[in-house]
Chain A
Amino acid sequence: MRSLRLLPAILLLSIAAACGSDDPKDPEFTGDPLATITSDSGALRLEIRTSPQPPTKGPVDVEVAVVDSESGAPVDDLSIEVSPWMGSMGHGSNTVDADALGEGRYLATGALFSMPGPWELRFAISGAIDDTAETPSFEVLP
Chain B
Amino acid sequence: MTPWPPTLGIRAAALLLLAAVPAVARASPCCAGATVVPGRLMVHEDALVGLDLRVGRELGAFDDGAGFNTASGDELAFEQGIFAALRVAEKGQVAARAPLVQTYRDLRGTREFGGGLGDLQIEARWDFVDAGQYLDLPGIAIVASAALPTGRAPEAVERPLGTDATGTGAFQGMGGVALEHVAGDWLVSATGTVGARAARTVFGEEVPASVIWSAGATVGLMLPRDAVVALAASLTDEPAAERRWLRLGISAGMPLSDEWRLQGGLFGDPPLGGFGRNQPASAGLSFVLIRSWS
Contact of B242 among A85, A88, A90 (CB under 8 A): A88
Q: Quick one: given A115-B30, A139-B63, are A19 and B111 in contact (CB under 8 Å)?
A: yes
- Is A93 at the interface (CB under 8 A from chain B)? yes
Q: For B170, what are the chain A residues with a Cβ–Cβ distance below 8 Å?
A: 90
A-B contact count (CB 8 A): 131
Q: For B31, what are the chain A residues with a Cβ–Cβ distance below 8 Å?
A: 89, 115
Number of interface residues, chain B, beta carbon within 8 A: 49
A91/B162 in contact, CB under 8 A: no
Contact of B108 among A58, A91, A112 (CB under 8 A): A58
Q: For B155, what are the chain A residues with a Cβ–Cβ distance below 8 Å?
A: 91-94
- Is B279 at the interface (CB under 8 A from chain A)? yes
Q: Quick one: given A58-B73, A58-B105, A88-B241, are A93 and B112 in contact (CB under 8 Å)?
A: no
Q: How far is the CA of A56 from the CA of B210 in the complex (A)?
A: 26
Which residues 101-132 of A have a CB within 8 angstroms of B?
110, 112, 114-118
Q: How far is the CA of A112 from the CA of B162 in the complex (A)?
A: 7
Q: How far is the CA of A24 from the CA of B210 in the complex (A)?
A: 38
Q: Hey, what's the 0/1 contact readout for B99-140 against A, CB within 8 Å counting as 1?
A: 000001111111111000000000000000000000000000
B-binding residues in A (CB < 8 A): 15-16, 18-24, 52, 56-59, 83, 85-95, 110, 112, 114-118, 139, 141-142
A-binding residues in B (CB < 8 A): 28, 30-32, 58, 60-61, 63-64, 69-73, 104-113, 153-155, 157, 160-162, 165, 168-170, 197, 200, 202-203, 207-208, 210, 240-243, 278-280
Other than A58-B107, A59-B107, give 20 A-B pairs with Cβ distance below 8 A.
Answer: A15-B104, A15-B113, A23-B109, A57-B73, A58-B108, A89-B243, A90-B207, A90-B241, A91-B155, A91-B207, A93-B162, A112-B160, A114-B30, A116-B69, A117-B278, A118-B64, A139-B64, A141-B72, A142-B61, A142-B69
